[in-house]
Amino acid sequence: MDFQSLNCPQCGGILPRQAIWRTVACPYCDATVTRSDSIVDVARYHEALHRFQNDPAGQDVRCGERRYRTIRHLYIGASSRVMLARRCGRLGEHVVLKYADAVKLGRERDILRQLQADTSPGSAYFSQRLPESVALGPDGNGGTVHVLRHPPGYWGSLAEVHRLNGTGLDARHVVWMWRRVLEALAHVHSIGWSHGAVSLEHMLVHPADHGVFMIGWSGAKRAGDQSRDLVQSAWSMRALLAGQRAGDDAPALPASVPAPLAQLLQRACSDARWLRAQGAAGLHYEVTSAAAAAFGPPRFLHFHPTP
């Protein structure tokens, strides 16, 4: 029969047999020892919680009865500022704080509530892929802030991906990004809305799950020009393929882009009448067909946003 000895990791002394199932004090050095790595010492937990709630690098922001601690800037534009933050408290959920004109923020909140309230087929799925408003009000520092739930796992915007990948992305990655955008637009268009400002800044990317999360809904409209969304999505994908070229507002597609995809992009960037007839679902089908002709059966390719 094999015998097992439980020894203190600090001094090597033999522990009492109760160490098999509970936390014990070493009889030789008085260290607290447990066999389980899922048990957290109460004192250390409270110490870590205190550090978490009192991070000196962040700034306190209040909205209503809730308090948030800023973590870092996500985006600074001409008319808005967006920050990642966490709610102060034991749960510590992450949120997005958006600063802009109070009227603009109020309009965005109302639009998001209407989008989230939709009950048509598919809404349960796509509501999780649209921003969710948490709170809106004074921030305690003289400004107005819109608090949005932060979608977990999203790395950053495709504008940042574009900036970091100056020579352009692999066309196989651009295909799945475009498809995700079109899936979201197909749902939004089907319930009578248009986004109105489809751009790389308004697309967050999830590298691990190949997801794209659309933000920036303050300019969304009912019965708007849905073909405009599709044209803007095509130009955004064209920019990702072409990379950064100073002073070039209409960058040429690289020779490495397969002909079926290049031809589709050229048409989608210029033929609004054709896009209006296709709709987002029809364009999604065209992208899928062009990708199959160019690359064969689909397969998962790991995506790294930083080169």
Read off the CATH number of the domain in which 89 is found. 3.30.200.20
Residues 141 and 239 in one domain: no
Residues 211 and 124 in one domain: no
Residues 160 and 290 in one domain: yes
For residue 300, tell me if it sits in a domain. Answer: no
Considering 93, 118, 149, which residue would you say is the last residue of a domain? 149
For residue 48, tell me if it sits in a domain. Answer: no
Residues 227 and 209 in one domain: yes
Residues 175 and 236 in one domain: yes
Residues 181 and 291 in one domain: yes
Considering 125, 149, 173, which residue would you say is the last residue of a domain? 149
List the pLDDT tens digit at each of the 307 positions of the chain.
Answer: 556 678 888 777 788 888 888 888 888 877 888 877 666 666 776 776 666 566 656 788 889 888 899 988 888 888 888 989 988 876 778 899 999 999 999 999 999 999 999 999 889 999 988 999 999 999 888 889 999 999 888 988 999 999 999 999 999 999 999 999 999 999 999 999 999 999 999 999 999 999 999 999 999 999 878 999 999 999 999 999 999 764 556 778 889 999 999 999 999 999 999 999 999 999 999 999 999 999 999 899 999 999 8
For residue 303, tell me if it sits in a domain. Answer: no
The answer to whether 197 and 214 are in contact (CB under 8 A) is no
For residue 51, tell me if it sits in a domain. Answer: no
Q: Which pLDDT tens digit goes with each residue over 249-305?
A: 677 888 999 999 999 999 999 999 999 999 999 999 999 999 999 999 989 999 999
Q: What is the CATH number of the domain that holds 200?
A: 1.10.510.10
For residue 237, tell me if it sits in a domain. Answer: yes
- pTM of the full structure: 0.79
Give how many domains the chain has, as a whole number.
2
Q: Domain range holding 231?
A: 156-295
For residue 304, tell me if it sits in a domain. Answer: no
Residues 109 and 208 in one domain: no
For residue 123, tell me if it sits in a domain. Answer: yes
For residue 7, tell me if it sits in a domain. Answer: no
Residues 205 and 277 in one domain: yes
